[in-house]
Amino acid sequence: MAERSIEIALIGAGVRGVEVYGELIRRHPLGARLVAVADLERGRAERAAQTLGGGITAFDSGASLLSAPRLADAVIIASPDRTHADLAVRAIERGYHVLLEKPIGISEREVKAVAAAAAAAPEVTVTVAHVLRYTAFFRALKRLLVEGRIGRLVGIQHTENVAYWHFAHSFVRGNWRRADQAAPVILAKACHDLDLMRWFADAPAVAVGSMGGLRWFRADNAPAGAPARCTDDCPVERTCAYSAVRFYGERQAGNTGWPVSALGPDTSPDGVRRALREGPYGRCVYRCDNDVADHQVATIEFANGVVGTLVVAALTALNTRTVKLVGGHGELRGHMEKNEIEVHDFATGEVETLQLAHAEGGHSGGDQGLVDDFLHRLDQSRAGQPVAAAATSLAESIDSHLMALAAERARLERAVVAMG
C-alpha cells in the first residue's frame, strides 16, 4: 500500500507562501502534499490552489481554515507579521504541527502567548522559520566555534547589510515600513541575526542597548522638485538611486519573481508600469509614510560575558550578512554571500580561508534546509514515532524576539534594558 502523503495547509498565499513553501513542498521527494490554502485576498487562494497542484481547498482566511475540521498534519503560517501569534495559537490548539514564519508575534505578550500554547501541547512541534540556522555557512561558523578554533568566544560583531534597494522595497515602500502595521525592523528583519548571535554566544542575553532611527528615507532629504511618485516625470529620475521607474522597470526587467512579484500578480512590463503608477511601490522613497529605523545599532551582553554588536544597515551596497567572531586566540570572519570564512590564528599569524560550496535556493539554502528538516520530522509521525523538536527550539527563537523588543525599547527610551 502506498504511504500516505504528509498533508500541509498553507495560510498566506503571498511571496513566501507560494513562491517558497508552496514550490518546495510541491517538489519535495518525501511526498508532501498541500491540501488547503487560505488568503484574505479574493482570488489569491484560488490561484495558488490551481498553480500548486490539484485537490487543494481554498479558504478565505487563516481563521476559517483553522475553524474547519482538522484537514492536515501541519500548518504553515506565512501571512503578515501581525497575524502570526493569533493564528499560531489557534493552530497549536487544534493539534496541528506548525511552521511559523518569523516574527512569532510583534509584542512580548503575543510571543509569550505562543510559548504558552506550545507548552500546553507538547505533542505538537512548533518550528520558527529562522532559516539562517539551516545554512551550511552559519553551521560552519558554529562548528568552528565549538571546535575551539578561536578559543573562548569574547565578542560578536554582526552586520545585517539589508542593501539600499531592498530596504527601499520592503521597509520604505513595502509591507514592513511602519512599526504599527508590521514589526520594527530590528524584529522583522534582524530576529534572524539576534537568533544567530544568541546561538554563537550559547547563552541568553542579560542587557541590551540600542541607538539609531530613521535618518535617510524622510521628506527633508527629498531632492528639489521630486514628485510624490517616481512615475510623475521626476526631474532626478536618471540620477536618483531609488527611482522606482529605473529599479523595477529597468534593473529588474524580465524578473517575474521577488521583488517584482510583490507589486502584484501581473509582472509583465505593462503590469509593472500600472503598479508603479497606482500602487505603493511607485512612491518617492522620501515621501512615503514609513517610520521604521533605517540605521540601528544594538549592543548585547550575554549571561556568560560575551558582548555582541549588531548593525542593521539600509545604506549599504551589500545585500548579505557579515560577521566577525573574536576569541582568546583567534578570529573568524564570515561573508555569507561569498560563502567564505577566514580563520585567523593569533599564535601562528596564519589565516585559513574556507570557501564553502555555493548553496542553491533562497537564503543560501536555508529555505530548503528548513523545509527538509520540518518534513523529515513530520515523516517520523507517519512511522508512528513522536515528532522530534526543531533544531532551533521555540524557547531559543523566543529569546531572539525578546532581545529585539528590548533593543527597540532601548532605542526609543535611550536606555539599557535589563533582561529578566
Ligand X SMILES: NC(=O)c1ccc[n+]([C@@H]2O[C@H](COP(=O)([O-])OP(=O)(O)OC[C@H]3O[C@@H](n4cnc5c(N)ncnc54)[C@H](O)[C@@H]3O)[C@@H](O)[C@H]2O)c1
Sites for ligand X among residues 305-364 (CB under 6 A) = 363
DSSP state of 344: E
Closer Cβ to ligand X, 44 or 177, answer by number: 44
- Min. distance of Cβ 123 from ligand X in angstroms? 25
Residue count of the chain, please give it: 420
Sketch the per residue contact string, 385 through 404, with ligand X: x for CB under 6 A, - otherwise.
--------------------
Beta bridge partners of 158: 310, 323
Closer Cβ to ligand X, 78 or 410, answer by number: 78
CB 217 within 8 A of CB 314: yes
Residue type, 199: W
Put the strands of the sheet holding 97-100 in their side by side order: 57-59, 32-38, 6-11, 74-77, 97-100, 126-128
**Residue given cell 577566514 in the structure block:** 342
- Min. distance of Cβ 170 from ligand X in angstroms? 8
Sites for ligand X among residues 128-157 (CB under 6 A) = 129, 131
- Min. distance of Cβ 39 from ligand X in angstroms? 4
Asked if 107 touches ligand X (CB under 6 A), the answer is no
Closer Cβ to ligand X, 81 or 301, answer by number: 81
Task: Select from 6, 8, 36, 79 the one that contacts ligand X (CB under 6 A).
Answer: 79
User: What's the grid cell of residue 89?
Assistant: 495559537
Closer Cβ to ligand X, 94 or 102, answer by number: 102
Closer Cβ to ligand X, 145 or 188, answer by number: 188
Residue number of the CB closest to ligand X reads 14
Task: Select from 33, 97, 102, 344 the one that contacts ligand X (CB under 6 A).
Answer: 102
Asked if 44 touches ligand X (CB under 6 A), the answer is yes
Between CA 51 and CA 43 the distance in angstroms is 12
- HEC secondary structure over 142-162: HHHHHCCCCCCEEEEEEEEEC
- Min. distance of Cβ 390 from ligand X in angstroms? 14
Nearest to 83 by CA among 131, 133, 38: 38
Between CA 361 and CA 379 the distance in angstroms is 23
Residue type, 118: A
Which residues form the interface with ligand X (CB under 6 A)? 11-17, 38-41, 44, 61-62, 78-81, 83, 101-102, 129, 131, 175, 188, 262, 363
